[in-house]
Amino acid sequence: MNKIIRFFDLHPGEERKEAVLENVINNISFRGANAWILACAIVIASVGLNVNSTAVIIGAMLISPLMGPIVGAGFALGTFDFQLLKNQSKICLLPH
């Protein structure tokens, strides 16, 4: 039974909360490439709104790098780490 559980384990080696926390913290900021991708997604979404195209708006949502901050907020709420949630919201609202 243990072999079956290890076979289907999607994240071997990430059992520790510290490893997951480090991974989440590294992916919640809008710096460098994420900032440029977000700016491009905003422009594409604006064009989609101007031409009234649902497909273009969905395309902009698909390329936007918002998954890191969403995962960060969910992880912070799930682990009751309100300091991380506070820091994560500062990072997302005020990109450096």
Q: Is residue 43 part of a domain?
A: yes
The whole domain housing 73 covers 18-93
Domain total in the chain: 1
> What percent of the chain stands above pLDDT 70?
82
Q: What is the pLDDT of residue 92?
A: 59
pLDDT band at 73 (very low <50, low <70, confident <90, very high): confident
Torsion sign over Cα 27, 31, 32, 35: positive
- By the 8 A CB rule, do 48 and 59 touch? yes
- Give one DSSP letter per residue of 31-84, joined into a string: -THHHHHHHHHHHHHHHHHHTT-HHHHHHHHHH---HHHHHHHHHHHHTT-HHH
- Asked if residues 21 and 75 have their Cβ atoms less than 8 Å apart, the reply is yes
The answer to the question of residue 64 being in a domain is yes
Structure tokens at 37: 């991708």
pLDDT at 96 over 50: no
Residue 8 lies in a domain: no
Residue 50 lies in a domain: yes
pLDDT by residue (tens digit) across 28-57? Answer: 777 777 788 889 999 999 999 999 999 999
